[in-house]
Amino acid sequence: MQAGWKCVFRSSFEHTAELVRVMLEEHDIDAVVMNKRDSSYLNFGQLEVFVPEQDQQTAEALILSLEL
């Protein structure tokens, strides 16, 4: 990931990571899901949600308010 972006969420489930990304974007926070799962064995690795560094605290507070 480029400098200036911070990981705010990790999940083994694609739908959960996408849910977090959509929720952040609904709150005007740019968010990107990076798939770090092994392409041969989808049980290994995680998906990570990144946001710009200046939005990190707001994003983390919003994620904590979710009931995942």
Residue 65, SS3 per DSSP? helix
**How many domains does the chain divide into?**
1
Kindly tell me if the per-residue pLDDT of 44 is higher than 90: no
* CATH number of the domain that residue 11 is part of: 3.30.70.1530
Q: What is the pLDDT of residue 18?
A: 96
Indicate the pTM of the whole model: 0.87
What 3 state SS string does 3-30 have?
Answer: CCEEEEEEECCHHHHHHHHHHHHHCCCC
Kindly tell me if the per-residue pLDDT of 54 is higher than 80: yes
Q: What is the pLDDT of residue 20?
A: 97
User: How far is residue 10's CA from residue 16's CA, in Å, rounded to a whole number?
Assistant: 9
Which residue range is the domain that position 11 belongs to? 5-65
